[in-house]
C-alpha cells in the first residue's frame, strides 16, 4: 500500500495527466478550426496518449491497494496563436509535467517505495520522449515559418503520426 503522501501525489498526477489530455484536445480543436488537420490529428493523438498515462496511474493505485480520488480539471484555453505558439506551449507543458513526475519520484525515493520508483521510471522515460518530440516540432516550425507550402508539408507530416 502507498503512503498517504504518495497516494495524494499520484492522485494529483492523475488530474495533471487528464488536464494534459484536455489541453491537447483543446489545441486540436483550435487547429482543426484553423484548417491545420495534420497538426490537429497530432494533438488529438497526444490527448489520447495523455489519457492512457492517467489510466496507467489509475490502475497502479488500485494495484497497490489505494483509492483514486478524481479531482476537478481546470478548463484549458481555447484560443491560441500560431502553430508554432501552440507547439511551444505544448513543450512548456511537457516540461512542467516532467517536473511533476520527478517530484513524485523523489518522494518515492525518500520513502523507499521501490515499486513506485519502478513504475515512475516508465513515466520518466516517456517524458524524455515527449519533450524531444515537441521540441523537434518546434525546431521544424521555426525552420519553415508559419505560412506557405513548407508549413502545409509539415502539417501533412504531423498528420501521419501513428496512434
Domain housing 84 = 4-159
What integer pLDDT is reported at residue 148 of this predicted model? 79
88-91 long-range CB contacts below 8 Å, 24 or more apart? 88/138, 89/27, 90/24, 90/27, 90/43, 90/46, 90/134, 91/131, 91/134, 91/135, 91/138
Q: Is the pLDDT of residue 163 over 80?
A: no
Predicted pLDDT at 162: 84
- If one counts the domains in the chain, the total is 1
**pLDDT tens-digit readout, 126-137:** 999 999 999 999
- List, for residues 34-65, the tens digit of each pLDDT value: 999 999 999 999 999 999 999 999 999 999 99
Query: Is the separation of the CB atoms in 51 and 18 below 8 Å?
Result: yes
Which band of pLDDT confidence, cut at 50, 70 and 90, is reported for residue 68?
Answer: very high
Question: What is the pLDDT, as a whole number, of residue 86?
Answer: 98
Name the pLDDT band for 146 (thresholds 50, 70, 90): low
**Predicted local distance difference test score (pLDDT) of residue 119:** 98
Percent of the chain with pLDDT over 90: 90
Q: Would you say residue 147 has pLDDT above 70? A: no
Residue-wise pLDDT tens digits, 83-119: 999 999 999 999 999 999 999 999 999 999 999 999 9
pLDDT tens digits along 5-22: 999 999 999 999 999 999
Residue located via cell numbers 498526477: 13
CATH number for the domain including 85? 1.20.1260.10
Amino acid at each position: 500500500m502507498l503512503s498517504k503522501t504518495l497516494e495524494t501525489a499520484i492522485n494529483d498526477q492523475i488530474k495533471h495527466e487528464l488536464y494534459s489530455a484536455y489541453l491537447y484536445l483543446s489545441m486540436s480543436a483550435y487547429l482543426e478550426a484553423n484548417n491545420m488537420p495534420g497538426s490537429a490529428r497530432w494533438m488529438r493523438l497526444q490527448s489520447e496518449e495523455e489519457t492512457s498515462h492517467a489510466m496507467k496511474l489509475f490502475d497502479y493505485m488500485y494495484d497497490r491497494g489505494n483509492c483514486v480520488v478524481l479531482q476537478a480539471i481546470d478548463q484549458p484555453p481555447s484560443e491560441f496563436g500560431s502553430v508554432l505558439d501552440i507547439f511551444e506551449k505544448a513543450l512548456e507543458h511537457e516540461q512542467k509535467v516532467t517536473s511533476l513526475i520527478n517530484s513524485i519520484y523523489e518522494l518515492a525515493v525518500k520513502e523507499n517505495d521501490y515499486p513506485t520508483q519502478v513504475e515512475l521510471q516508465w513515466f520518466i522515460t516517456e517524458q524524455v520522449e515527449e519533450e524531444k518530440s515537441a521540441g523537434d516540432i518546434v525546431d521544424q516550425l521555426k525552420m519553415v515559418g508559419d505560412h506557405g507550402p513548407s508549413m502545409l508539408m509539415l502539417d501533412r507530416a504531423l498528420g501521419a503520426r501513428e496512434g
